[in-house]
A and B are shown apart, each in its own frame.
Chain A
Amino acid sequence: MIPDALHRDLTTACGPDAVIVDEDRLLVYESDGLTAHRHRPAAVVLPRTTEEVQAVVRAISRAGLPIVPRGAGTGLSGGAVAVRGGVIVGTARMNRILVLDAVNRRALLQPGVINAHLSEAARPHGLYYAPDPSSQTTCTIGGNVAENSGGPHCLKYGVTSRYVRGLSVVLSDGSVVSLGGMGREQDGYDLLGLFVGSEGCFGIATEVEVELLPIPETVRTLLAIFDELESAGQAVSDIIGAGLLPAAMEIIDGETIRAVEDSVFAAGYPTDAEAALVIEFDGPEAGIDDDARRAASLCEETGAREVRLARDEEERLALWKGRKKAFGAMGRIAPDLLVQDATVPRTALPRILAGIQTIGRRYGLTVANVFHAGDGNLHPNILFDRRDAEELARVERASKEIMELCVEAGGTITGEHGVGLDKRDYMPLVYGPDELDALWGVRRSFDPDGLMNPGKVLPDVSTAGTT
């Protein structure tokens, strides 16, 4: 429920069909991809242009309600969920590619453009957009900007912030700000870089300028099968240590392999293996086979019992299938899934993987690992049943222990999913009171009244930046 005046203002700004207040229809917006956090918004509004976003933001601000930006809702941190009776500003209708400029290798987009659609549109020009989160067929560029999304190929190409070259942003007072811009050499504070990954707490991006890359001439994809998870982790360290830079290195552990092979997504991985390592090289034809061969022999040296090389695109997609569909397949094993996102230094991988298995065993829980091994970005998935309160308590304890283990090893609590609601309470593991205070102050520098996506990222309390 929202006040009548606000309802009227939103309808005037965007038209009646763009305002959702019906309780049943609001259900869809109750959570993001992480269903553990459910909060029904007071309303949802779906503007089409920057001007409509301005009008909407001003109206919600006047009503003193929280403003919650949301893309496709595929996030995994409870970031695009309206707590405290907020109104969701959805970007679903802002889905136009405004400029596709092949000469300057860039595109100007509305935030609701779906990540994979951009690469499809750029393909005829021999270009593509590098960051490739697993949800890329449904997630939006605006969401990627908010979360500073990664993806398997970020090992070689880097994450979203490297490719965002300019933004138009609506702040909580309705003002529009232009940040960066290709061709405008950076000078002054990097507010553009600061905005990327701000999880909707600073403002709403209404136009996004991104850099595109030439499509690599060719690709080689390998699958190495291991009897021990730690050996796969060691192979990753050895490949990087040898000076090779694959585009992606992804590990799927035994638990996940079996879940995938039992599902409709079966990819032909041996079910008695304890790890599958997918390695992909891309780039010019010249030299790529040498790189692939060197990586294959390093895998064999660390104990791979089998290394397969995809002979064509069909085989390549088959090798990737198990990795890409792993989350879907795990749904068969247990009704609930807690996915973590810690990152550790790459050389700590074998030790941390063993540690996670020990923690899982100690709490009697199944932990399935699928992760971006090349970046040291882990995704341990704890499988459980929410209806079992005792099991849920064990899951929470184990989850905290895994997080602590990763931080102690020099890692961090989230590599690409963001903090959102989910990891807010873990922020003190990586930041002390002074750092948290500074983070609060930076947030208030953009949003002094605290209306943008409140309740996310930072634990409550702090007065920094209020004067």
Chain B
Amino acid sequence: MTGPSTLPHVLTGQEASDWLGGFPAREVHFPGGPEELAELVGAARADGRRLAPAGAGTWLDGGGWGRPADAVVSMRRMDTTVHYEPADLTLTVGAGMEWSALSTALDAEGQWLPLDPPGVTSATVGGVVAAGMSGSLRTLYGAVRDNVLGIEGVTGEGRVLRFGGRVVKNVAGYDLVRLLTGSRGSLVAMTAVSLRLYPRPATDRTLLFSGGVPEVLRGGAAVARLPVMAAAVDVDLGDPAELIVRLVGSEVEVSAAAAAVRAAPVTGSLLESDPVEGGESRALHLRRTAWEDGVPWVVRCSALPEHLETTVQVARRIADAWHGDVTAHVQQGVVRVKAGGTLPADAAQDTGKLVLEARARMEAMEGRLVVASAPSEASLARSGAVSPVVKQVQSRLKRLFDPDGVLAPEAPSS
């Protein structure tokens, strides 16, 4: 991918599609700032064209919210640090800054953004905020939306709006920062974001246990119920299954927590391999964020943590049909399933039925099943039905920010 300094203002034809890693697009525009983007939006509105906001293009399929767009608008050229005062533990950057570049810059100051959503390694900061997904670190540090302090973006009418700010407590007006986080570019195309930072913990250690699936799941549940708050309690359901426990803090704190984890019921009967430390521990968890990268079929099941075993059962039925894999965030009751590759013809045919059955089982225990990624021809509803009132509020919000539908992503559930 071409870096921002050498990016042109627009790519067309094959070059556009190549830049987006094969995503079909006739044009990719690279505005240099919110005003330039507002002009592009204004022109598109006048011509009745639809634009798909993007960063690096990681989530361009819109995760099921998308409509075909006439052109992609990437924020990649907006990649500067607008404001960074380390002692404030806050930062404002252009939406097009690469997440990995930002992480490296923060590392130099002994700070970090403790967010590990899927796909983060190749994404831009704006992309992460617009997708609004979370990973294992959510239990300890909150979701993406808990760590976004301010957002600047351009509406479908070409207005540049700024909400929130760069202070950690702010209740001036309604919390539009939360509304816009995770709105996937359907309300505004984000151009800059302010984020909350944390001191990087002195010690980052990951304990690894393996065993049979039932034992590993029970071990994970026992660790998640300890008074010690782990930064991740994940289970990979391979053969053998693996329990991955990440602990962060000072050396004494982490050592004490590790002792508590090893003493937890069940973990004693699992096989423990050597723990992973520091940079290696960080790299391990970063690799785990790429677990579903490039996979055409991904489903996420969630329910209360106490229902984890049932949630895993539901997930494994899908995984078996897909020859796929299952991983669980034990503390959150979230279980993800990915297909082993392109589905065999019979599996693809049956998938719709399979997913709907699984969704019904999840909803019967007040849980949820989200189709995070599926080929567009599968025409699977991303999420379960929402109430007509919620649907009405969602479409009013879409109309408010984008009355003519210039921004390609639709309101959710529309």
A residues neighboring B (CB under 8 Å): 101, 103-106, 126, 147-148, 150, 154, 158-159, 161-162, 171, 175, 177-179, 181-191, 193-194, 196-198, 201-202, 213-215, 217, 237, 240-241, 243-245, 283-287, 290-291, 343-347, 372, 375-377, 410-419, 423, 427, 430-432, 434-435, 438-439, 441-446, 457-458, 464-465
Q: 16 interchain pairs (CB within 8 A)?
A: A181-B366, A182-B304, A184-B368, A188-B413, A189-B394, A190-B132, A190-B178, A190-B181, A193-B181, A240-B89, A286-B252, A286-B255, A286-B256, A345-B166, A442-B176, A443-B174
B305 touches A103 (CB 8 A): yes
Which residue of chain A has its CB nearest to the CB of B177?
A193
Cβ of B219 within 8 Å of any chain A Cβ, yes or no, is no
When A198-B174, A415-B169 are in contact, do A184 and B366 touch as well, CB less than 8 Å? yes
Which residue of chain B has its CB nearest to the CB of A171?
B389
Select the residue from A161, A185, A417 with max chain B CB neighbours within 10 A: A185
When the two chains form the complex, which single residue of A175, A217, A241, A244 contacts B227, counting CB atoms closer than 8 Å? A217
Complex-state Cα separation, A240 to B200, whole angstroms = 12
Cβ of B387 within 8 Å of any chain A Cβ, yes or no, is yes
Chain A nearest CB, measured from B204 CB (Å): 14
Cβ of B271 within 8 Å of any chain A Cβ, yes or no, is no
Among listed B96-104, B157-165, B347-355, interface-contacting one: B157-165
Among listed B12-20, B72-80, B138-146, B319-327, interface-contacting one: B138-146
B182 touches A189 (CB 8 A): yes
When A178-B387, A197-B175, A427-B172 are in contact, do A445 and B400 touch as well, CB less than 8 Å? yes
Complex-state Cα separation, A414 to B89, whole angstroms = 19
- Interface residues of B, count at CB 8 A: 83
B167 touches A158 (CB 8 A): no
Complex-state Cα separation, A442 to B366, whole angstroms = 28
Cβ of B85 within 8 Å of any chain A Cβ, yes or no, is yes
A187 touches B176 (CB 8 A): no
The 7 closest A-B pairs by CB, nearest first: A193-B178, A188-B412, A243-B199, A286-B256, A415-B169, A185-B302, A445-B396
A194 touches B396 (CB 8 A): no
B window 148-162: CB within 8 A of A: 155, 159-162
When the two chains form the complex, which single residue of B163, B179, B225, B257 contacts A284, counting CB atoms closer than 8 Å? B257
When A161-B178, A190-B182 are in contact, do A290 and B142 touch as well, CB less than 8 Å? no
Chain B neighbourhood of A410, CB < 8 A: 83, 165-167
Complex-state Cα separation, A175 to B300, whole angstroms = 30
Cβ of B40 within 8 Å of any chain A Cβ, yes or no, is no
Known contacts A158-B142, A214-B227, A375-B167; 17 additional CB pairs below 8 A are A183-B367, A184-B302, A184-B367, A188-B383, A190-B145, A193-B175, A197-B174, A217-B227, A285-B256, A286-B252, A290-B250, A346-B88, A377-B169, A410-B166, A430-B173, A431-B163, A434-B160
Chain A neighbourhood of B383, CB < 8 A: 187-188
Cβ of B124 within 8 Å of any chain A Cβ, yes or no, is no
A445 touches B397 (CB 8 A): yes
A418 touches B255 (CB 8 A): no
B residues neighboring A (CB under 8 Å): 83, 85-90, 110, 132, 134, 142-143, 145-146, 155, 159-163, 165-176, 178-179, 181-183, 198-200, 202, 225, 227-229, 249-253, 255-257, 300, 302-307, 332-334, 365-368, 370, 382-383, 386-387, 389-390, 393-394, 396-397, 400-401, 411-413
When A103-B305, A147-B171 are in contact, do A175 and B397 touch as well, CB less than 8 Å? no
Chain A neighbourhood of B132, CB < 8 A: 186, 190
When A184-B366, A412-B165 are in contact, do A427 and B225 touch as well, CB less than 8 Å? no
B305 touches A104 (CB 8 A): yes
Chain A neighbourhood of B396, CB < 8 A: 444-445, 465
Chain B nearest CB, measured from A195 CB (Å): 9
Complex-state Cα separation, A190 to B146, whole angstroms = 11
Select the residue from B85, B334, B383, B401 with max chain A CB neighbours within 10 A: B85
Chain A neighbourhood of B306, CB < 8 A: 103-104
Select the residue from B88, B200, B366 with max chain A CB neighbours within 10 A: B88
Counting residue pairs across A and B whose Cβ atoms lie within 8 Å, the total is 242
B307 touches A189 (CB 8 A): no
Complex-state Cα separation, A455 to B256, whole angstroms = 54
When A286-B255, A410-B166 are in contact, do A434 and B159 touch as well, CB less than 8 Å? yes
Which residue of chain B has its CB nearest to the CB of A245?
B199
B173 touches A188 (CB 8 A): no
When A162-B142, A240-B87 are in contact, do A419 and B173 touch as well, CB less than 8 Å? yes
A283 touches B253 (CB 8 A): yes
Chain A nearest CB, measured from B92 CB (Å): 10
When A198-B174, A344-B167, A410-B167 are in contact, do A193 and B400 touch as well, CB less than 8 Å? no
B368 touches A103 (CB 8 A): no
Chain B nearest CB, measured from A186 CB (Å): 7
Which residue of chain A has its CB nearest to the CB of B395?
A445
Complex-state Cα separation, A183 to B364, whole angstroms = 12
When the two chains form the complex, which single residue of A215, A217, A415 contacts B171, counting CB atoms closer than 8 Å? A415
Select the residue from B200, B225, B251 with max chain A CB neighbours within 10 A: B225
Complex-state Cα separation, A158 to B132, whole angstroms = 18
When the two chains form the complex, which single residue of B134, B142, B172, B228 contacts A413, counting CB atoms closer than 8 Å? B172
A194 touches B179 (CB 8 A): yes
B89 touches A214 (CB 8 A): no
Chain B neighbourhood of A442, CB < 8 A: 174, 176, 179, 397, 400
When A244-B199, A372-B169, A412-B165 are in contact, do A237 and B87 touch as well, CB less than 8 Å? yes
When A347-B85, A376-B167 are in contact, do A287 and B253 touch as well, CB less than 8 Å? yes
Chain B neighbourhood of A193, CB < 8 A: 145, 175, 178-179, 181
When A126-B227, A419-B171 are in contact, do A188 and B166 touch as well, CB less than 8 Å? no
Chain B nearest CB, measured from A356 CB (Å): 16
When the two chains form the complex, which single residue of B198, B334, B386, B393 contacts A185, counting CB atoms closer than 8 Å? B334
B302 touches A183 (CB 8 A): yes
Complex-state Cα separation, A458 to B413, whole angstroms = 30
B366 touches A435 (CB 8 A): no
Chain A neighbourhood of B334, CB < 8 A: 185
Complex-state Cα separation, A147 to B387, whole angstroms = 26
Chain A neighbourhood of B251, CB < 8 A: 287
B389 touches A159 (CB 8 A): no
Chain A neighbourhood of B88, CB < 8 A: 345-347, 376
A148 touches B175 (CB 8 A): yes
Complex-state Cα separation, A198 to B174, whole angstroms = 5
Complex-state Cα separation, A27 to B307, whole angstroms = 50
Chain B neighbourhood of A202, CB < 8 A: 174
Chain A neighbourhood of B161, CB < 8 A: 434-435, 438
A375 touches B183 (CB 8 A): no
Chain A neighbourhood of B401, CB < 8 A: 438
Chain B neighbourhood of A419, CB < 8 A: 171-173
A189 touches B400 (CB 8 A): no
B167 touches A343 (CB 8 A): yes
Chain B neighbourhood of A415, CB < 8 A: 167, 169-171
Complex-state Cα separation, A343 to B143, whole angstroms = 23
Which residue of chain B has its CB nearest to the CB of A464?
B400
A416 touches B171 (CB 8 A): yes
When A103-B225, A187-B383, A446-B393 are in contact, do A286 and B400 touch as well, CB less than 8 Å? no
Which residue of chain A has its CB nearest to the CB of B200?
A243
Which residue of chain A has its CB nearest to the CB of B302?
A185
Which residue of chain A has its CB nearest to the CB of B413?
A188
Chain B nearest CB, measured from A173 CB (Å): 9
Complex-state Cα separation, A132 to B293, whole angstroms = 40
A414 touches B87 (CB 8 A): no
Chain B neighbourhood of A126, CB < 8 A: 227
Which residue of chain B has its CB nearest to the CB of A433?
B159
Select the residue from B174, B175, B181, B229 with max chain A CB neighbours within 10 A: B174
A287 touches B400 (CB 8 A): no
Complex-state Cα separation, A285 to B259, whole angstroms = 13
Which residue of chain A has its CB nearest to the CB of B371?
A187
Chain B nearest CB, measured from A152 CB (Å): 12
